Chain A
Amino acid sequence: MTVEKMALSKALNAALRASLESDPKTLVMGEDVGKLGGVFRITDGLQKDFGEERVVDTPLAESGIVGTAIGLALRGYRPVVEIQFDGFVFPAYDQIVTQLAKMHARALGTIKLPVVIRIPFGGGIGAVEHHSESPEALFTHVAGLKCVTPANPSDAYWMLRQAIECDDPVIFFEPKARYWDKGEVDREGIPDGLHSAKVVRQGSDLTLLAYGPTVRTALLAATAAEEEGRSVEVVDLRSLSPIDFDTVQRSVEKTRRLVVVHEAPVFQGVGAEVAARITERCFYHLEAPVLRVGGFHTPYPAARLEDEYLPGLDRVLDGVDRALAY
């Protein structure tokens, strides 16, 4: 049996294991990834099976982790780096933006930087400061990086494997609130393209576009809206750079309305880019402006307020109502 039901976290673990097995140059690096198996246990058991040379516990220095991963990539390795939490990536931001993203171009294509940076991102787990952020727009803005995020275990498995095989640096955002969601993974199946968006629920009145942790929210909202007689299509963006606008466009040309949902602040976020592009592509199809539902222009709030901040079911449904009211 090749199809198994597993949690998203286990699917990531299985993907790392498969990549370590298939290519001796693949390395896993990060804080606590060895004996502990990572704070979310994504790397559980890998050091035991592949050794300390392949699954590398690092000093607590994010710039150092990414900077040395660059050096290892230059030596022919394929490092998969774990940043422990979203808010901890910033000490490494300089290395990612000024070095990792640009080195291939600076060398006129003569060298490749196959580095994957895994970042558990997003909120909803009641964590303390710097443990719940959605910094994806800060990375999608940078040429030279690719950014993806799975929303279900199957995509978690395949997208991570594809990211590791990619010769470009990939920022791999893991929806930490969905680590424990279960789903079917076909490890011998044929994956979707790493940078394709996917219609995950058909509908005809409106398109909800989401990625990572908000895909489940969007699906729940579509179910709720159905009870009110509204047919909502849900598109999982999956790839944030590049973005598969063709799939989004096809959906919007069908439904004529688009609401983008993400946890990150809407101001200058991924949703803003989608709104601009889709308006340009679908101007004569749209019955309503593209709306966004997401985080506010505030620091991510203390845990007791995160339900107010996060785009939950009611706020998404409010967005649906507003779009349909035009």
Chain B
Amino acid sequence: MSTTLHLGTRKGHFAIEKNGSGWRVARSSFLGVQVPMLLPDARDNKLYAAVEHGHFGTKMHVSSDGGATWEERACPAYPSKPEGTPDILCPMRQTPIPWNLEKIWSLEAGGADEPGVLWCGTIPGGLFKSTDGGATWNLVESLWNRPERAKWFGGGYDWPGIHSICVDPRNSKRVVLAISCGGVWETLDGGETWDRYGKGLFADFMPPGEEEDLDGQDPHRIDACVSDPDTVWMQHHCGIFRSKDGGRTWQRFENGNPAVFGFAVAVHPQKPETAWFVPGVKDDMRVPVNGALCVMRTQDDGKTFEPLRKGLPQEHAYHLIYRHCLDVTPDGRTLAMGSTTGSVWLSEDGGESWTRLSAELPPVFSVRFEKAGP
């Protein structure tokens, strides 16, 4: 079982370790600076951190000792905008989409057979790939130049962003990613070409007749089952969906208990029929239903969903669990989640019961276990 949990927060990185007396905050890094995304790379035990300075932009740092010491690496940067290239305007607000890195919103390792390959999803919607462990990054122009990008728009932030990147463990060239708002995309050739999918997704917020437009979908987060990557669960702005064909087609579930709105989703690494969510009141409220925090689990492929409340606050609790703030260990037993109000909980029984590790941390943006290498 993993014994280190990494948190990226509004005020830095925190490592939480398990020792004889339980889990405790062991150390911090970049104190005072936003850390929107972390990646513990199981292939070589490197830890990557996106560090977002309020004034001086985002930088990438890497650690070889679990966050005790860091060195700055190259950060994904958009290439010079070619002279004469017209701006793409946000379809909602008619303002130009930036050609600058606004935020690193996802960071994933390539396959076990691709040492050094890293994927980075950003706001305003650019995907970056590194083949040298983050020494250099290149914008994946095959996706950035797709004409459909003109229809993408901001969901969680002002500009569209890539928040979920799923590398197929069976075939590292196959990558499925999700964009808020811009739907679900797949490459079968390591990023050379892309197709967009999403039949069955439904965006209630779109104008009548446009609800099934693939480019207007707002997946909040997708997660593929490690042992069955064709099973992908999605927490969408308009509910919960699940695909059994790698993201091409989706089934909608409206039987969430207590709700189908939320941001985070985690899939059991060995059991594709099991997934966890953190439900909330849609969508202008974004608080736990009745002020009672719960994690919601299905163990029967969506036939039923059950709220798991033991150990979680049930009165006047207004925690929001962002999309990258729920993680599960490879054995499917240990889960962790962090909230916008600086609480972190851990469950060592598949979500049945939870223990609060801290209520004193900054707002949490990213929760990731160190996972054992291959």
Do these two chains really belong together in a complex?
A: no
Interface positions of A (Cβ within 8 A of B): none
